[in-house]
Amino acid sequence: MENREQLCGGYTKYDLARLLLSGELMTFWLGNFPQKGKTIRGRLNSIALEDGSHESWLLSGYTQDGKNFRAWFHTRRGTGWIEVLSN
């Protein structure tokens, strides 16, 4: 079952590129800005442009506990969503 959660705060597009290329563990903050709630930790497998703004991104990867995720994130606004997929 998929569960979509709101993202708040986060990374710049340059941070996302660095995290993809380095394979570093990253943190997604859940909740409504400016109040951050729980976190999800994971690694990126891919980044794709969502539109022509170069600020809106489609992300995919896997969480620290091995579940796949997909996400949308707007780097200028610092908002988006994440879905952790049942494998």
Model pTM? 0.86
Cα angle, residue 54 at apex, residues 18 and 85 outer, rounded to 5°:
65
Tokens for 52, please give them. Answer: 């022509």
Tokens 């943190």 sit at which residue? 27
Q: Give residue 31's pLDDT.
A: 82
Highest mean pLDDT among 1-15, 27-41, 62-76: 62-76
| 23 vs 39: CA distance, rounded Å | 18
User: CATH code for 3-84?
Assistant: 3.30.160
